[in-house]
Amino acid sequence: MAEYFFSSSIADKVINSLRMKPRILAFDFDGTLAPIADSPAEAAMPGELRRLLENLSLDNNTVIAIVSGRRLSELEQMIRIPSIIYFGNHGMTSSVEGFGAGREQLRKWSDESSMIHEKILCLESKYKGCIIENKGPVISVHYRKVDADKVKELGSLVKEIAGEHDVDLKNGKMVIELKPRTNFTKGTALSEIALKRFAGWSKDDPFLFAGDDNTDEDGFRAMKDFGERSFGFKIGDGETSADFRLLDGEILNLIKLII
């Protein structure tokens, strides 16, 4: 079990490591930097956190990355900090040329997801509160506001539609995602950043990744290859391969300590 970071006996040592440069600081967005909102469109980073990340991103020896399940263009628009590396669709798309999947592949997947979207959209009117997002190659079915006794039924209809296509089903927090069958994950995203050696970063240098949900586990696992100054932080409860655990909203406290 990952121990709660701020009561760990090695917290000070980890903080000192994360202050060293060059360093990579990578974050999931929803539930990690931005509190989970009622609908995906309402999510926003607290102002103080935004200002800190903006300042950090201006430091040439600190690489900031945000690795999200959201559509890339939407993520960039929500955050609007230019010198950050963005990954969307769980590592499939990126603001950096050469990262993630190729254009041709993305187009094929997006064609498939548009077909799925047409079929699945009727569930929005059938299940009150259900929000369906077409995020390029990924379709998200949000059920946070759906009646609890209807969720199972909704889930099996989603599974049925998914079964007619070449996609995997992934469960997140109050969301079911239909993703193309691919090896791209948040883990491959982090590995791509590590391999690129931005700012001269090498395996002995600090690498932080924080996330709150199931898809972030791919990231935590990938980090095991990165060296002894790489640390995974799981926000909130649940099984995890991360090194440490933080409570909701505490990422801000951690960032303040490592500036």
Q: Would residue 151 be called left, alpha or beta, if left means φ above 0 and alpha means ψ between -120 and 50 degrees?
A: alpha
- CB of 209: closest distance to Mg ion in angstroms? 12
Q: How many CB atoms lie within 10 A of CB 250?
A: 17
Separation between Cα atoms, residue 24 and residue 205, nearest integer Å: 8
Tell me if 38 sits within 8 A of 144, measured CB to CB. Answer: yes
**Residues of this chain, 188-217, that bind Mg ion according to CB under 5 A:** 212-213
Contacts of 255 (CB under 8 A, 6+ apart): 25, 49, 52, 53, 56
The nearer residue to Mg ion, 177 or 213, going by C-beta atoms, is 213
The nearer residue to Mg ion, 36 or 157, going by C-beta atoms, is 36
Judged by CB under 5 A, which of 27, 30, 140, 177 binds Mg ion?
A: 30
- CB of 108: closest distance to Mg ion in angstroms? 27
- CB of 252: closest distance to Mg ion in angstroms? 15
Per-residue x/- mask for Mg ion, residues 212 to 231, rule CB under 5 A? xx------------------
Judged by CB under 5 A, which of 25, 28, 66, 217 binds Mg ion?
A: 28
- CB of 45: closest distance to Mg ion in angstroms? 13
DSSP helix/strand/coil, 226 = coil
Residue 140 has phi, psi (to 5 degrees) of -110, 135
Nearest to 179 by CA among 199, 200, 158: 158
DSSP helix/strand/coil, 130 = coil
- CB of 208: closest distance to Mg ion in angstroms? 16
Residue count, binding to Mg ion (CB under 5 A):
5
Q: Would you count residue 177 as binding Mg ion (CB under 5 A)? A: no
**Residues of this chain, 234-253, that bind Mg ion according to CB under 5 A:** none
Interface residue list for Mg ion (CB under 5 A): 28, 30-31, 212-213
